[in-house]
Structure 1
Amino acid sequence: MGKPLDPPPGTNSLSVRDNRTGKTYNVPIVDNSISATDFKAMRAPSAPGERPENETEKGLRVSDKGFLNTAVMRSEITYIDGDAGILRYRGYPIEQLAVHSSHLETAYLLIYGSLPSKTQFQTFRDEVMHHSVIHSDAEQFFRSFRYDAHPMAMMVSALSYLGSYYSEANPSLRGQTLFTKGDHESLVNMDKQIIRLIGKATTLAAMAYRVRQGREFVTPPTGLSYTGSFLYQMDHLGQEDFRPNPVLEKALDVLFLLHADHELNASATTVLQTGSSLVDPYSARAVAWYYSSSFDWSVSKWMPGGANEAVIRMLVSIGKPENVPAFIEAVKKREKVLSGFGHRWSDPRSFIVRKTADEVFKITGKDELLETAMALHDAAMKDEYFVSRKLAPNVDFCGLIYRAMGFPMDYFPVLFAVPRVVGWLAHWRQMMLQEGGVKIWRPRQIFVGAGKRDYVPMDARTPVEGLKKSPSVLEHSGISKRTSLASFKHAKL
């Protein structure tokens, strides 16, 4: 850094001249990336009249609102090239895995880096299924929710609740290096929590489903697949030799595999942001579930999994295929929102979803919204407005499959988040074991607020009012409204 001579062309570095000081800095380029901390060496005296809050003397900061071009991890897990339609888990194309693999085998791949041998897979599968059983106290926990509670609200709470049973998984109780040491004892502990979370995810999800149906809970069965056990726990009502339909079981397994990971999307980033503070894995996963469910309750867009639900609601609002042209024009005028067309270029998962949908519809019958969905797809793909923006249909059309299988729309986000537990765990494990240890994620800010101000006593203040400058006036109804009109003696402050 700061060498007076520029390196010759072809050198893997970036030369930066700071015109404030006249100095030239050579920043190394590694894997087509530069280190943001290298810019901290680019210091300059504060300009006359410059705000001290800019901290110019402490080095240059990199502004990247929304992390649009900031890499925070060196990862070996998932590679995505949206423009080229590429999605690979640990190097394996998603198209190959969807045909030849299973969700649990792919989970092993994502977490441990390679496809398992037959013996390795049997051991992993048996452990996951063995750890699907939940403590009996969980029944009382789930019964404490209102009958109409959203299933994602239950899941967020359930994961936090689950962590209370396993003190050996809490770095606050067992030491901050609990999962970062990389020795045998640490890895065994980590693997046990990973297996527990994968195994119990379907059980918790099935309990959230059945409590809203007013049904008794079902103990996870033995001898079924991961998704077979999930369907059994949701649907079994005491029938003898009950077995889920194999086509639905396979379809759900394929969709779970497709949803298992999507690189550092928002929910995975939330796991890592939280995990960097060395919390227990249950808390980190609960935060990710919360992120997946923290958007607009009024329309139940529990994103990112809620995109499936948003697609179905959009199709319902369109109705018949003949209404598609008018809807397309409304979207172009920004009067309507087109859900399910967010991924750039071609998402390879969309072709797998379509094939899976055909197999499901053979036994369930076609969803009446399918023709509307395909008409919308064809119209958008032929319209220059969408073609020029490289907007293609993405995997969120799997909501049609969930709908055909009989799942309620507000349960779609759960069907996204259950398999995504695998991806969250894979990224969390990678971060815990990364070379150089875990660095807490602490983004910088560019402070543009007021400089130093002296305190003003309340009686001497001038009210600051207006939109965004003061609290909104809240409307009250029911008992609150009646109480405000009643006469009573207020308590003294």
Structure 2
Amino acid sequence: MGKPGQDSLSVTDNRTGKVYTIPIVDNAISATAFKDMKAARKQGERPENETEKGLRVQDRGFLNTAVMQSTITYIDGDAGVLRYRGYPIEQLAEKSSHLESAYLLIYGSLPTASQYAHFEQEIMNHGVTHSDATQFFQSFRYDAHPMSMLTSAFAMLGSYYSEANPSLQGQRLYTKGDAASLATMDRQIYRIIGKAITLAAMAYRVRQGREFVTPPTGLSYTASFLYQMDHIGEQDYVPNPILVKALDVLFLIHADHELNASCTTVLQTGSSLVDPYSAIAAGCASLYGPLHGGANEAVIRMLISIGKPENVPAFIEAVKRREKTLSGFGHRVYKTSDPRSFIVRKTADEVFKVTGQDQLLETAMALHDAAMKDEYFIKRRLAPNVDFCGLIYRAMGFPLDFFPVLFAVPRVVGWLAHWRQMMLQEGGVKIWRPRQVYVGETKRDYVPVDDRVAVEGLKQTPSKVEHGGISKRSQLASYKSKL
């Protein structure tokens, strides 16, 4: 039994009476320590419980599981704190830029002028894609979702760089930590960040039915992005500087957010030592979901459904009755206001000066005021989060289904920072392979088809789906099988 004041946890296993002492390091304990807590299987207990092999730690949805040590991003959800490498997000949004903060997140320190110039030059020089990318994007339907295109495009990039693939070059390609390995890693970082805006712009222009634009020279990262999306041949075209700055700030505050769903997906995929392009594509697929990167779009659709400010009270009551879903409030980590939401509001004011105020802003503010005064939401600590930045995107003219792309483009920075950290971590990379608690059938013998009893019911049998068009006509046709 440990003594008070020691950095350890004493656990008594009441099944056996044994006492275990587990060290506490950085306010965390090792989950594998519980594997030592073994007991004999009780009479009648399912063998699938594996009681004699030690305890498992069950944490559905990773509510309190730390999978790695990190030096990148710190979040205090109770206090509403977000820091990149120790720097408060408020200071970075005011004084830094997206690419400077990208350098900070990836390499751990703010760059000097010469270091930043080198980094920016490499990023911007790697914005051009292979000419095959044109054919690749043109193969999509005209109405394909831009996130589907972007996800596919990142995976496509991996096929062009055989020197970046550990499956071809050896599994220690990125884990050696020597000069050659780091140079190979940095080259992929330059390519992915540089091409992210190019691929996103190409996805945008597919939807517009426009020819693609070669990345310009002499413009900033976000200015180049806007140029590639909007330029249609005008001479000396330069995007509006206020919109450029606003997008840069939004990119900066979205660059990283610790081990969120998409970042964890990148690391889970990357732990198999797959190439970084495939890992980033997996992150895009995760971010595409409505509980993650699709939340901005959900906020705007919610506000559109509410309509005018006078409809807010009825909507609030419908939310309380669980008839409607409230988007843009509450966060998995933040239990008070998301610190990024204040930056978003300030940025919105600047954008609205040149674009005009979005007609949904009054509805959004009425919803904000009503929710913040209502005991139902106060008790549940549902404060506004960053997802209201969709109002800015809408004011800037971006279509709703492009919002997740505007989330993914800056987030590749955070994904790459965490991927790089994992590749270089002490002790090497261990493949992420979580356990499960099996509660299914115990061992049973195979039953011949004529002896089986049909199992019926919802979720227990395949659904019947309606067929139409060619599929329906083919089912009604008669023909001779080729088999």
TM-score above 0.5, yes or no: yes
User: TM-score when scaled to structure 1?
Assistant: 0.96
Q: Distance in 2 between matches of 1:43 and 1:95?
A: 49
Of the three residues 438, 448, 452, the one matched with 1:447 is 438
* Deviation readout 1:58-104 (Å, 9 max, x if unpaired): 11111111111110010111111121110100000000000000000
Query: Aligned partners of 1:193, 1:483: CA distance in 2, in Å?
Result: 48
Is contact 2:330-2:381 (8 Å) kept?
no
Which residue of 1 is the match for residue 148 of structure 2?
A: 153
| 2:299 maps to 1:311 | yes
Q: Which amino acid aligns with 2:45?
A: E
Residue 25 (structure 2) aligns with: 30
Measure, in 2, the Cα distance between the counterparts of 1:349 and 1:381: 17
1: distance between equivalents of 2:280 and 2:252?
A: 19
Is it true that 1:336 corresponds to 2:324 in the alignment? Answer: yes
Deviation at 1:490, TM superposition (A): 5.4
Query: Per-residue displacement from partner, 1:208-249 (whole Å, max 9, x unpaired)?
Result: 001111111111000000000000000111111100000000
Aligned equivalents of 1:37, 1:485: Cα separation in 2: 58
Q: Which residue of 2 aligns with 1:470?
A: 461
Q: Residue type matched to 1:25 in 2?
A: Y
Tell me the secondary structure at the aligned position of residue 242 of structure 2: helix
* Aligned-partner Cα distance in 2 for 1:161–1:15: 51
Pairwise CA RMSD = 1.0
For the residues of structure 2 that align with 1:485 and 1:174, how far apart are their CA atoms? 53
The residue number in structure 1 matching 2:450 is: 459
Residues 147-169 of structure 1 show CA distances to partners (whole Å, capped at 9, x for unaligned) of 11110110111001111111111
Please, which of 69, 78, 96 is the counterpart of residue 83 of structure 1? 78
Deviation of residue 475 (structure 1)?
Answer: 1.4
CA positional deviation for 1:491: 6.2
Report SS of the residue matched to 2:465: coil
Unaligned stretches of 5+ in structure 1? Answer: 1-5, 296-300
Paired with 1:465 and 1:286, the residues of 2 have a C-alpha distance of 39
Q: Distance in 2 between matches of 1:488 and 1:465?
A: 32
**CA offset at residue 342 of structure 1?**
2.0
> Which residues in structure 2 correspond to 1:79-118 (within 5 Å)?
79-118=74-113
1:115-142 deviation per Cα after TM superposition (whole angstroms, max 9, x unaligned): 0000000000000000011111100110
Match of 1:133 among 128, 137, 142: 128
Q: What corresponds to 1:56 in structure 2?
A: 51
Q: State the Cα distance separating 1:187 from its structure 2 match.
A: 0.5
Which residue, out of 253, 260, 263, partners 1:265? 260
Which deviates the most, 9-18 or 246-255?
Answer: 9-18
Q: Deviations over 1:177-225 (max 9, x none)?
A: 1101111111010011011100000000000001111111111000000
Alpha-carbon distance in 1 for matches of 2:475, 2:2: 75
Tell me what 1:323 maps to: 311
Number of the residue aligned with 1:412: 403
- Letter of the 2:118 partner, please give it: T
Q: In 2, Cα distance between the equivalents of 1:480 and 1:282?
A: 36
Instruction: Write the deviation string for residues 335-363 of structure 1: whole angstroms up to 9, x where unpaired.
Output: 00010002221111111100100000000
1:166 aligns with 2:161: yes
* Offset of residue 170 of structure 1: 0.4
Ranges of 4+ aligned residues in structure 1 off by more than 6 Å:
none
Q: Where does the alignment leave 5 or more consecutive residues of structure 2 unmatched?
A: none
**Which residue identity lines up with residue 72 of structure 2 in the other structure?**
I
Q: 1:220 aligns with which of 215, 220, 235?
A: 215
Residue number in structure 2 paired with 1:281: 276
- Aligned letter for 2:76? D
From 217, 231, 238, the counterpart of 1:243: 238
8 Å CA contact 2:299, 2:387 repeated in 1: yes
Q: What residue identity is the alignment partner of 1:353?
A: V
1:394 to 2:385 alignment: yes
Counterpart in the other structure of 1:370: 361
The one-letter code of the counterpart of 2:449 is: M
Letter in 2 for 1:256: F
Aligned-pair identity in percent equals 77
1:298 equivalent in structure 2: none
| 8 Å Cα contact 2:2/2:9 also seen in 1 | no
Q: How many residues align?
A: 480
Letter in 2 for 1:197: I
Is residue 432 from structure 1 mapped to residue 423 from structure 2 by the alignment? yes
